[in-house]
Structure 1
């Protein structure tokens, strides 16, 4: 699972309608995709993604993962033109993949497992 995917996921458990995004991410195993398997670096695509992603959620998640990338508090027009910033964003959103881990709802504490890079967002019958 990539952080771009994590950036759109929320808890959909019955009754969990507030404070259910972003899910707290605990990555126990991750890898960087090699050049053959990762999407090519595309600055224009990354600039468009900056308009769509939930910046504060991404920033919060990246800060808890301790991956050595510090994202600024604010996203600015100048920043999305900066090559070093776009390279970091490419790493975080496109190349790095969470292989194993969990996502935890900050509201109801429901745990969603990530196995083999796939988040299991299916709810149990009593949660629907």
Structure 2
């Protein structure tokens, strides 16, 4: 799917909310690059020896899963499906790929005010 078609399907507010999540969450670009080629679960992420290259902070599997759920809600990730239904593993969505194409290098980290707003939006989505 080309970027223009994908952009037409995603409204600007959804894209901006998802971009903010990418800037505010602790995952590095290498994490999303990994997900563009394979699916991974929060437990697998927690056990990886190279977690420091994938995240700015060490994550427990529960904390990573909470971030995965939020990224699913904003449209960046999706659950992988196997023959028996949804799995605990996640993959990058077309929206996630489109957002990552905005940055050539590492995803810029959000300023403190944006992180506070993001945290409030995440906990109280109606604000």
How high is the TM-score relative to the length of structure 1? 0.26
* Higher RCO structure, 1 or 2 (CA under 8 Å, sep 6+): 1
Structure with higher Rg: it is 1
Which has a greater percent of strand?
Answer: 1
Which has a greater percent of helix?
Answer: 2
